[in-house]
Amino acid sequence: MTPQGNHMFTDNRQIDEMVRGIHELLSEKLLVEVDSPEADLLQAGILDSLALIQLLVHLEERFGVKISLDELEVEDLRSVVSIARLVATLKQAHAETGAAVTVNG
């Protein structure tokens, strides 16, 4: 699931809110500071395998999304901005699926 090329989200305010939320998660839950939302978290060594799993759990709890490891790509986790796009894409897909289930159910 690579939201990099996905243009479903044109609302920059939504992405900005998620960037702030993800930045808070990194700071409060993983105790790491990120200089820039575009900083490469993998290259900087901020996300190792344990931190990644912890981050995914916190993302799921905070944003109410389910992140499938099978569909996850490295580029989805490259920066705070790419993580925000991933979460936004998952939230949109969940909203569309939930709405479809409610309407058809």
- Structural domain boundaries in the chain: 11-104
- Give Cβ neighbours of residue 9 (< 8 Å, ≥ 6 apart): 3, 15, 85, 88, 89, 92
pLDDT tens for residues 39-71? 999 999 999 989 999 999 999 999 999 998 898
Q: Could you tell me which of 71, 67, 39, 37 has the C-alpha nearest to residue 54?
A: 67
Q: Return the residue matching tokens 């490891």.
A: 69
Determine the CATH number of domain 11-104: 1.10.1200.10
Q: Count the Cβ atoms, other than its own, within 10 Å of residue 46.
A: 18
pLDDT tens for residues 75-91? 999 999 999 999 999 98
Position 18 pLDDT exceeds 90: yes
pLDDT category at 13 given cuts 50, 70, 90 is confident
